Structure formats: C-alpha cells, structure tokens
C-alpha cells in the first residue's frame, strides 16, 4: 500500500511539473512587434526603422520578435494606420497629419507652410509636442513616440522650374493632405491628392505635373526619374512619429515597455542626425543624374501668398487655435 501511495504521489508530481513547464514555455514565447512604414527602406526614416527593430531585439534578448515592412507592402499610409489601430500591427511610422490626422485634423499643423525657422527648431517642436500628440490620439488606441524631421521640402515639377508663385499657375501639384492642397491653391496651382506610392506613375502619365518632398524622400522613391526640375522653395518641413498601438504598448511588462520606448527615441535621434547629411547627398545625386535645381527669386513672395492661411486655420475652432498656440510657444 505504501509503495502504491508513493507511486501515485510521483505521478502527481510529474504531471504538475509538466503543467508548470508548459505554462513556463507559453510565457517565454516571444511577443510580436510588427512595424511598418510607407517609405522606402533606403531613406532616413527606413534606415531608422531598421535600427529601431535591431535595438529592440538586442535589448529584449529574445523576448520581443520585431519585424518591419516598407513601402506599399501592406497598403497605403492610412491603411497601415488603420491596421495599427485594429491590431494587425503594433506600430506604424506615420506623418501625424496624413495618418491620425484623418481623425485629429489639427495634427496637420506639423506640416504648415513657413511656420518653422529651421531644422533644429522643428525637432524641438516635435519633441515638445510628443505628450500632446499622444493625448490627442489616445482615443484612436495610439501613442506617439519619437518625432522625426524628414527635412524641408521642395517642389519637383515636369514642365518648368518654379522661380516665382506665378510659375505654378495651371499646374496640378500633388499634396498629401488638405494643408498642402490649400497651400498650392493659394500659390495659384491646383492642389490634388495622390497616394505616395502612386506618385511615380502619376508624374509619368501626366496625371499630375509636380509634387513636393524633401530631397532624400524624392531620391529614395526615384521620382526625379520622371520630373527634372527641382525648385528650392523650403515651404514645409514634414515629420513622422512612431505611433504604437496603445493597448499593446501598455500591456508590456514594465522593463520591455521601457526598452521599446527608449529604442524608439534612440532611433528617432539617429534619424534626425543622419537626415541633414542625407538631404545634401540626395540633392547632389539628383544633380549628377540630370535634375535642374534652382533657387526661387524671392522666398518672401511665397510667404506672402500663404500668410492668410494661418488665420484661416485658427478659425477652424478652439482645438485648432489651442494646438497652434502650443506649437508657436516652442522656440
């Protein structure tokens, strides 16, 4: 009887150990972190995303399995944002005004003509507004981290170079959101919306006459192959944040959440460092490949044309005017 009792005790212990082992194995399964950007892997934002994924995997030591998608692999920028909100992704790299801006339109002010002094000022604004952006996108199940300056933007046009605002008359110019469309309309062009990944074909086929972006963004997507005039208008600086799915980020153990956030900010800092040199290098590469680059005759002519826009956007409501005031307070 005693032998039988010990035999049963042994079985119970073995079963219990098996259950504990299975539970432990389940707990040790890596947490998935799927990330995506609509930009090319060779641009500064793409390179920073690769670095972010590497940093997380190194620091998490196997506890997080991170992947990245680039370009149109998963759809448009807006589609990728929706995927993050609903759980198909854990993080999307998005322009605040173009992605979450569909629901929080005042985020479009990050891409407003002639609002920011220079690259350093723009980065200070992005860092200073991170908490406010996170507060505004929290109802969308998103958290904003790591603002990245993608550089001041210029106009790439097929028919002719732009020297003065009148040179834009009659041209169909692509813009990613209503601020750009309003700017082009104020300058005398016809602003039209075209998805980022459709610009090359739209330029090639004449659906649009021109577009605008930073030199590195233009070169990384090869838009200069189908439009040969780049005019240095410095009209808008564009940005992206890492938008994490809030419920996923908040569900992480404290140490892993810290690793993810620290890695995001390190990757953003890296992108902001390499950005300026990348802009210069990409501009030179385009010149070497036959793009005609010109300065505008008087930048103040462009500034005067769009100046009424700021009061118009303040007039959209208190949420707009408050957001504008918070941006302008950061010097």
pLDDT score for 220: 85
pLDDT score for 27: 57
Residue 248 forms part of a structural domain: yes
Full residue range of the structural domain in which residue 184 is found: 29-328
Distance CA 153, CA 279 (A): 10
Yes or no: say if 277 and 149 are a contact pair by the CB < 8 Å rule.
no
Query: Quick one: three-class SS letters along 248-302?
Result: HHHHCCHHHHHHHHHHHHHHHHHHHHHHHHHHHHHHHHHHHCCCEEEECCCHHHH
pLDDT score for 122: 96
Encode pLDDT of 78-100 as tens digits.
Answer: 899 999 999 999 999 999 988 89
pLDDT score for 73: 87
As a whole number, mean pLDDT of residues 314-326 equals 96
* Mean pLDDT over the full length of the chain: 91
Look at residue 10 and tell me whether its pLDDT is greater than 80: no
DSSP calls for 149-201 = EEEE-EEEESS---SSGGGGTT-EEE-SSHHHHHHHHHHTSEEE---GGGHHH
pTM of the model: 0.81
Q: CATH number of the domain at 66, please.
A: 3.40.190.170
Distance CA 174, CA 243 (A): 25
Distance CA 97, CA 179 (A): 9
Instruction: Look at the chain and report how many structural domains it folds into.
Output: 1
Residue 206 forms part of a structural domain: yes
With bands split at pLDDT 50, 70 and 90, how would you rate the model's confidence at 9? Answer: very low
Q: 44-60 and 254-288 helices cross at what angle (nearest 10)?
A: 150
Encode pLDDT of 304-315 as tens digits.
Answer: 999 999 999 999
CA gyration radius for the chain?
Answer: 24
pLDDT score for 176: 84
Residue 67 forms part of a structural domain: yes
Residue 10 forms part of a structural domain: no
Residue 24 forms part of a structural domain: no
Look at residue 161 and tell me whether its pLDDT is greater than 50: yes
With bands split at pLDDT 50, 70 and 90, how would you rate the model's confidence at 130? Answer: very high
pLDDT score for 99: 86
Q: Supply φ then ψ for residue 198, to 5 degrees.
A: -110, 0
**Which stretch of 64-68, 274-278, 312-316 has the lowest confidence by average pLDDT?**
274-278
3 state DSSP class of 35: strand
Residue 92 forms part of a structural domain: yes
Residue 12 forms part of a structural domain: no
Residue 269 forms part of a structural domain: yes
With bands split at pLDDT 50, 70 and 90, how would you rate the model's confidence at 177? Answer: confident
């Amino acid at each position: 009887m005693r032998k039988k009792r010990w035999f049963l005790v042994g079985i119970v212990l073995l079963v219990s150990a098996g259950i504990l082992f299975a539970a432990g194995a389940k707990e040790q399964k890596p947490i998935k972190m799927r990330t995506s950007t609509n930009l090319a892997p060779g641009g500064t934002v793409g390179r920073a995303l690769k670095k972010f994924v590497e940093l997380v995997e190194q620091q998490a030591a196997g506890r997080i399995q991170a992947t990245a998608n680039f370009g149109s692999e998963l759809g448009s920028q807006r589609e990728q944002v929706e995927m993050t909100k609903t759980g198909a992704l854990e993080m999307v790299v998005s322009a605040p005004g173009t992605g979450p801006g569909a629901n929080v339109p005042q985020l479009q002010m990050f891409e407003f003509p002639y609002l920011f002094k220079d690259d350093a000022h723009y980065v200070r604004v992005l860092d200073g507004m991170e908490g406010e952006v996170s507060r505004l996108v929290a109802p969308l199940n998103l958290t904003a981290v790591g603002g990245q300056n993608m550089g001041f933007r210029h106009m790439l046009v097929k028919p002719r170079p732009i020297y003065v605002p009148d040179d834009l008359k009659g041209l169909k110019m692509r813009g990613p959101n209503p601020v750009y469309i309003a700017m082009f309309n104020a300058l005398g062009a016809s602003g039209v919306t075209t998805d980022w990944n459709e610009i090359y074909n739209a330029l090639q086929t004449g659906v649009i006459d021109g577009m605008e972006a930073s030199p590195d963004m233009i070169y990384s997507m090869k838009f200069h192959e189908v439009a040969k005039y780049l005019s240095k208008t410095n009209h808008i600086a564009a940005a992206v944040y890492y938008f994490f799915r809030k419920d996923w980020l908040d569900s992480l153990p404290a140490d892993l959440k810290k690793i993810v956030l620290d890695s995001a900010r390190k990757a953003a800092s890296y992108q902001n460092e390499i950005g300026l040199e990348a802009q210069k290098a990409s501009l030179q590469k385009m010149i070497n490949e036959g793009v005609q680059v010109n300065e505008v005759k008087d930048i103040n002519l462009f500034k005067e044309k769009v100046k009424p826009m700021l009061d118009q956007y303040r007039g959209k409501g208190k949420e707009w005017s408050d957001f504008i005031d918070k941006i302008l307070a950061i010097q």
